[in-house]
Amino acid sequence: MTASEIRRQFLEFFKSKGHHVVPSAPIVVKNDPTLLFTNAGMNQFKDYFLGNQTPAWSRVADTQKCLRVSGKHNDLEEVGIDTYHHTMFEMLGNWSFGDYFKEEAIAWSWELLTEVYKLPKDRLYVTVFEGDKKENLEKDQEAYDFWKKHVPEDRILLGNKKDNFWEMGDTGPCGPCSEIHVDCRPDEERKLVEGATLVNKDNPQVIEIWNNVFMQFNRLKDKSLEPLPAKHVDTGMGFERLVRVIQGKFSNYDTDVFSGTIGYIEKLTGAKYEASDSKKDVTFRVLADHIRAICFTIADDQLPSNTGAGYVIRRILRRAVRYYFTYLEYKKPLLHELVPVLAQQFETVFPELQKQVDFVKKVIFEEENNFLRTLDSGIRRIEDIIAANSATKSIDGKTAFELLDTYGFPFDLTNLIATENGFSVDEKGFEAAMKEQKDRSRAATELDMGDWTILEDSGTTFVGYSLDTTQTKVTKYRKIKAKGKEQYQLVLSQTPFYAESGGQVGDTGTLDFEGEKISVTDTKKENDLIVHFTDKLPATINTTVTATINKDKRQQTTLNHSATHLLHAALRQVLGTHVAQKGSLVNPESLRFDFSHFAKVTDEELAQIEDIVNEKIRANIPVVIQELPKEEAMKLGAMALFGEKYGDIVRVVIMDPNYSVEFCGGTHIGSTGELGLFKFLSEGAVAAGVRRIEGVTGAHALAYVNEQLQQLKEVKAALKNPKELVKAVDTLIADKAGLEKQLEVLEQEKIKQLASSLLPKAEKINGINFIGSVVSVNSADALKQLCFQLKTELTDYVFVFAANVGGKANVAVMIADNLVADKGLEAPKIIKEKISGLIKGGGGGQKSFASAGGQETDKLDQVITAVKAIL
């Protein structure tokens, strides 16, 4: 059975049991400060379990893209070493939201594994929660009894709280769980050691494949448990592992989930994968694993960057490069070549990759190149370090850390290169420096989040599409403290405040607590909660509140948001439909739009795009907003964003059904004419394959145009209103360059003349050709020029020239090289001993040429005589 059949069978099986199959949520998480990536199948259903939202279907099944590389589940450095850790993996799951419970979940999981997938029953074991006295929890007898119907009792094992009781967090829904384990050992081994003794014992061949969580309790703040009114089922089965078991492979990497990629790497590099523990084979596994994580996160709109989620992607990518660079001896970009293979493999499951295959490839290629450059310069740097420390034959921890911290050169490579050169590296010192940096960062981002004070247990409704003010109540609030600044977060039962989302900034405004006005500085989303930020709390919070937004600011923002839609459509019309939104910022002043496109947008294209947008504004198209089932919206040709999670009912913003139809939760104007005017401010690149356009609309656009015109007017006036302005400026610039050149020539000429007039004044003193003079020049550099001019004319010379330059004394001294050598004359010495004191200044330079400067301009003659005296 192929991997895709296994996946299909899972989904079809649960479909036949009345489940609605939903697509995977994006792997990159938005609007949740506690999570960067989806790390479990249940993430997208969290709000259902918490009761913040009601599900549209009570039975759901899916395969979810997950990534575990940060936070609690950090497996990154394990991946590739063994045969079963992954960064990105698929989690198959079936859910019941207050519908079926233990009996069905248990029966179906058994049916699927043994009848559909035909796993031998005598290799399966199940575990059931044994109870916990301290928590006052009973054994999960129900689950035990339901399992008894399918499995002999000696295969039902009891597990402790750690393995068999699942909790979402410190508080919230939780419950016992029941795992299914499979024993993959060969028969001879199974005869020797009973499989039951190896369950949950970290044996790589006796592994858990499916966890069924039965949510039946709610954990309260005081740590006590209360029964949930609606009981849920939450299951998760690691897809890669399941495939391995069904296909009877020794390792996940031997299945057809990975073999395509591995085969292609073999083809590209000429190396062979032999499934061993060698560094080379670890590399194959690292590459096959990491390319999936990299591709799917980029396809879900997360570009590699130096912060947050983007930094995690960058690290995964760099780990992959590090491996092929060192162990496959492959010194050029490799990962990007694998993208099409993967895109094709997942075309029907996760089509977002195939749809953006060129874009993802380009991003990865640039990123690889970048890091290969970093490695290159790091290697040069480490070679210098090795040369400089040949005496001690060691690299200290601080230096190794600096290589990583400042130049991005990985420690393991430093270690490797050092060892190759017979050097040692102070690993302890390195670790210490690393710890110091981590501590510093943690301290700087310390966020003290208080507990919510709950006044009223109700959801929150957004009424801001139609109202700017409303009567409401505070349902909960808390205090947060970041960087020593205290702030409060308030949640209202209904609110006109738009929370930052889809690029549109959050509203500001005021909350009027029966006379006491508190201003709202920002509004943000936390999952589906709308959180209002304030600097203080009212004296009495438990009153009626009049919530009013800053209408003016919202209006300006709304204009820019609608303009963004017009722009997006125009971009696709002019540049092509490969243009996809990669980021958007909409605030009262301007709009910023990032999109995938591979070349600079030319001035002609920009003009064309701007024309289209303005044409649509003048056409005064009415903006139609509809809430529709997602399928219907898709039929209208609505543009959805990659990496955005949509519910079953979506909000669609239409500006002429033939022009712009977009999924959007933002605020919009009534008709496009309200925008008045649209103007570009700038166009540029932000990352590989991503361009950024900034623009203004409405009154801001007009102000911008007026400002430009005003500047133009002033320039014209300054140039005495020429007929052809551009030509006049060009001429002006060319003239200036010519004049500067001429001036330089004249200066040279002047110095030459000065030099030739000074030449006859040369005096012979003790065999030395001495010229000393106070001259009139206008820069210190001219004195220098004078010396260099004269040195070609004489031998055995000593020159001293002094000048008053802008009220300051400047002196230059030049001595022929042979005099320096033979007579021990040194220019800086003369300056320090004879000159700087006189002119109240300092000076220095080379032995044969030095310069000095000082305050005293009327002692210049004395400078000359003083030098002359020592010859």
Toward RNA, which CB reaches closer, 418 or 780? Answer: 780
Alpha-carbon span 25 to 91, nearest angstrom? 11
Toward RNA, which CB reaches closer, 168 or 835? Answer: 835
Whole-number Cα distances in Å, 869 to 112, 758, 770, 830: 108, 19, 11, 11
Alpha-carbon span 671 to 619, nearest angstrom? 9
Toward RNA, which CB reaches closer, 495 or 789? Answer: 789
Toward RNA, which CB reaches closer, 39 or 785? Answer: 785
Q: Any binding-site annotation on 578?
A: no
Q: Where are the beta strands (DSSP E) in 458-537?
A: 461-462, 469-472, 474-482, 485-492, 494-495, 509-513, 516-526, 529-534
Residue (of 817, 751, 819) closest to 783 by Cα position: 751
User: Please, what is the Cα angle at 369 between 365 and 370, to 5 degrees?
Assistant: 115
Residue (of 780, 784, 501) closest to 666 by Cα position: 501
Q: Which residues bind RNA (CB under 7 A)?
A: 306-308, 311, 314-315, 318, 370-371, 374, 377, 402, 404-408, 434, 437-438, 440-442, 444-445, 483, 780, 784-785, 788, 808, 810, 828, 841-846, 849-855
Residue (of 85, 22, 38) closest to 302 by Cα position: 38
Least gap, CB of 577 to RNA (angstroms): 28
Toward RNA, which CB reaches closer, 132 or 683? Answer: 683
Least gap, CB of 20 to RNA (angstroms): 37
Does residue 105 contact residue 113 with C-beta atoms inside 8 Å?
Answer: no
Does residue 123 contact residue 184 with C-beta atoms inside 8 Å?
Answer: yes
Whole-number Cα distances in Å, 649 to 42, 463, 539, 669, 820: 20, 17, 40, 22, 90
Alpha-carbon span 224 to 112, nearest angstrom? 36
Toward RNA, which CB reaches closer, 62 or 368? Answer: 368
Toward RNA, which CB reaches closer, 445 or 658? Answer: 445
Toward RNA, which CB reaches closer, 311 or 646? Answer: 311
Sign of CA dihedral 511, 513, 514, 519: negative
Alpha-carbon span 334 to 151, nearest angstrom? 49
List b or e across 577-591, with b for residues whose CB sees 16 or more CB atoms inside 10 angstroms.
Answer: eebbbbebbbbbebb
Tokens of 164: 């068999």
Tokens of 144: 């035990």
Least gap, CB of 2 to RNA (angstroms): 38
Toward RNA, which CB reaches closer, 612 or 812? Answer: 812
Least gap, CB of 380 to RNA (angstroms): 8
Least gap, CB of 411 to RNA (angstroms): 9
Q: Which residues pair with 25 in a beta bridge?
A: none
Toward RNA, which CB reaches closer, 192 or 444? Answer: 444
3-state secondary structure of 526: strand
List b or e across 269-292, with b for residues whose CB sees 16 or more CB atoms inside 10 angstroms.
Answer: bebebeeeeeebbbbbbbbbbbbb
Q: Which residues pair with 517 in a beta bridge?
A: 512
Least gap, CB of 725 to RNA (angstroms): 21
**Tokens 């959050």 label which residue?**
506
Least gap, CB of 37 to RNA (angstroms): 14
Identify the H or E element spanning 142.
helix 141-148
Alpha-carbon span 303 to 312, nearest angstrom? 10
β-strands 763-765, 485-492 pairing: unpaired
Toward RNA, which CB reaches closer, 707 or 744? Answer: 744
Least gap, CB of 687 to RNA (angstroms): 8
Tokens of 686: 């932000």
Toward RNA, which CB reaches closer, 708 or 846? Answer: 846
Toward RNA, which CB reaches closer, 307 or 776? Answer: 307
Least gap, CB of 265 to RNA (angstroms): 23
Toward RNA, which CB reaches closer, 308 or 657? Answer: 308
Alpha-carbon span 417 to 397, nearest angstrom? 15
Least gap, CB of 198 to RNA (angstroms): 34
Q: What are phi and psi of 525, to 5 degrees?
A: -100, 140
Helix axes 335-345, 357-388, angle to 10 degrees: 150
Least gap, CB of 410 to RNA (angstroms): 7
Q: Which residues pair with 697 in a beta bridge?
A: 678
Tokens of 409: 């050169």
Residue (of 92, 98, 24) closest to 58 by Cα position: 98
Least gap, CB of 571 to RNA (angstroms): 21
3-state secondary structure of 735: helix
Alpha-carbon span 403 to 381, nearest angstrom? 8
Q: Any binding-site annotation on 565?
A: yes
Least gap, CB of 393 to RNA (angstroms): 23
Number of other CB atoms surrounding residue 547 within 10 Å: 27
Q: Where are the beta strands (DSSP E) in 560-639?
A: 581-586, 591-596, 623-629
Least gap, CB of 500 to RNA (angstroms): 14
| Binding site listing for Zn(2+) | 561, 565, 664, 668
Binding-site residue numbers are 561, 565, 664, 668
